[in-house]
Amino acid sequence: MKNVANPKAAFYTLGCKVNQNETEALGALFKEHAYQVVDFDEVADVYIINTCTVTHLGDRKSRQVIRRAINTNPEALIVVTGCYAQTSPGELEQISGVDLIVGTRDRARIVDLIQEHKKGKKPVTHVSNILTVSDFEELPVDRLINRTRAFLKVQEGCEQFCTYCIIPYARGPSRSRSIENTLLEANKLTAAGFKEIILTGIHLGAYGKDLPNKVDLVYLCKQLLEQTNIERLRLGSIEPTEIVDELISLMKENPRFCRDLHIPLQNGDDEILKQMHRPYTTKDFRDIVKKIRDKIPDIGISSDIMVGFPGEEQNNFASSLSFVKEIGFMGLHVFKYSPRKGTPASKFPAQVSSQEKEKRSKAMLELAEQGFKSFATNYLGETLDVLVETAWPQGGWEGHTDNNLRVVFSGEGEKGIIVPIKLKALEKNYVQGEPNYSRN
Ligand code: 5AD
């Protein structure tokens, strides 16, 4: 029985997988402090909104969600954290009803900060200079139950300073979780029943650069595969220049290492890549994808693409489109360029109009759909292992194959088991199938 006197906390996450991991970790922390975690639409005593600022839409959605919480319970303590809180605390202080602003640091102390704070005072901003931080803040996530996939943050921050990107200013320099702590955490997750670990980071490929003994991401993955019983290990986003031969071999040889790579291309035109300060050309990208596919034919490769970067003329966009088509990604996130204050590109001339960005985004999204379809079609009639992640409210189950196909099936299922599914029909962004234990 739950103690009804326990204060209630409700969470909302905007943005990336790192944010999702951090919110989960914060939820666990609140539970440890005797809070009851409730749905965001319920009346709670504390609302924690983990914000995103990667584009202006992140800012806008973050503000909308904050207002929603204030409307649900004007008496509640409203706590705003994450990237938008880190970069623009002043904008958040303007929202009447916001009580506490905590950036991307000191979140292990968030419960104490809340307990020190009383509703009704002026908003308190607890945001420190992130650019000088060198420690990796540990936030354990293993207490969560009834989950199948866990995002495990092993790296924080980024020092690439791509000309469009605000994230280095929101997250600070690159720093890594130690191998020992990552293994401890992964073993706890496995013991708690998780079947899949997805390694995440702001710049995952920079893993280990700040650690002693020259460890890197490949070493970390090897250790995780050897020293834990996790059934599946998956990588978050990784830069094209960081996909080394050893990583490809490990993925090819170890069936527990999911054949799935998210490689952000950002643009398919060399001139634009240069303006973005991306450290590769389309030729480099084509070569690395070819090398990966030659070794691992079934690999699922997805990407992020930006349209409407300043200076992207019709001819640049045309080459971007044709390059994306040539590569053929099984998944594509399309971003309309959004000028971020303080970044070099926001001051570049030749900004692209929003109508034009909209048009280009639509064209790119069509390629996204085509890319998914042509990849998924290869597997119709085949039987692949699917990790069951969620029950559909209208009946049926949903999960992913190791090469990241989203699969829905009806029949016998159970969260957290791996089921052989014969793939039967394509939907817009998933594949329908049915259990096939005889694998015929
Ligand atoms: N405008 C639009 N998209 C952006 N991204 C990063 N910065 C911006 C920006 N200023 C996108 C990139 C990145 C993804 C997480 O967000 O494509 O890979």
Structural domains of the chain, with CATH: 8-128 (3.40.50.12160), 131-258 (3.30.750.210), 383-435 (2.40.50.140)
What's residue 145's pLDDT? 45
Whole-angstrom CA distances from 178 to 19, 138, 143, 395 are 20, 10, 20, 42
Cα of first residue to Cα of last residue in the chain, in angstroms, is 48
Distance CA 134, CA 417 (A): 39
Q: What is the pLDDT tens value at each position of the chain, 440 positions in all?
A: 444 579 999 999 999 999 998 998 999 899 999 999 999 999 999 999 999 999 999 999 999 999 999 999 999 999 999 999 999 999 999 999 999 999 998 888 899 888 888 776 778 888 888 888 888 887 776 555 457 998 999 999 999 999 999 999 999 999 999 999 999 999 999 998 899 999 999 999 999 999 999 899 999 999 999 999 999 999 999 999 999 999 999 999 999 999 999 999 999 999 999 999 999 999 999 999 999 999 999 999 999 999 999 999 999 999 999 999 999 999 999 999 999 999 999 999 999 999 999 999 999 999 999 999 999 999 999 999 999 999 988 889 999 999 999 999 998 888 999 999 999 999 999 999 999 998 87
Whole-angstrom CA distances from 389 to 331, 333, 380, 439 are 19, 22, 21, 21
The protein residue with its alpha carbon nearest to ligand 1, atom 16, reads 54
Instruction: Return the beta strands (E) in 117-191 as ranges.
Output: 124-126, 149-156, 175-176
What's residue 312's pLDDT? 98
Atom of ligand 1 nearest to the CA of 165: 7
Tokens representing residue 153 in the block: 């943050």
Tokens representing residue 358 in the block: 């909209």
pTM of the model: 0.94
84, 204, 306: residue to mutate for ligand 1 pocket, most atoms within 8 A of CB: 306
**Torsion of Cα atoms, 269 then 273 then 279 then 285, to 10°:** -20
What's the CA-to-centroid distance between 61 and ligand 1, angstroms?
Answer: 16
Residue 355: how many CB atoms within 10 A of its CB?
A: 9
What's the CA-to-centroid distance between 214 and ligand 1, angstroms?
Answer: 30
Atom of ligand 1 nearest to the CA of 264: 18
